[in-house]
Amino acid sequence: MASGSGISDDFTSGSILQKLVKFMLPVLGALVLQAMYGAVDMLVVGRFGTDASISAVATGSNIINLVTFVITSLTMGVTVLISRYLGEKKQERIGGVIGGAICFLRYLRWR
């Protein structure tokens, strides 16, 4: 919440749609940019590469997009849990959520 400016980011009062869209746009923008990065790779490789290289870039872009979307979804879920516990005034549970998320992402990294 910005103090003194009259702007409130409190999701518990007022119209939620405008606040939700404002919250969602940066995440959506990052995902669109990631997909565009793969499309530009395909254009460059399509112009100068072979059929095998186009296939490799297409497969690699899909895998990178999948990993990006999964990690983004997981972090958004952690954010929801943290927000819930803040709203319920149960701050002692937030450390467990953050620790669990870090352990899970470390586990995924080392698999």
Instruction: Name residue, tokens 């297409």.
Output: 58
pLDDT of 7 reads: 53
For the segment 73-78, the average pLDDT, to the nearest whole number, is 88
Residues 7-53 have pLDDT tens digits of: 556 667 777 788 888 888 988 898 888 888 888 988 999 899 888 99
| C-alpha to C-alpha distance for 92 and 79, rounded to whole angstroms | 15
Q: pTM value?
A: 0.64
Residues 52-67 have pLDDT tens digits of: 998 998 898 888 888 8
Tokens of 20: 């939700």
Instruction: Name residue, tokens 């399509």.
Output: 46
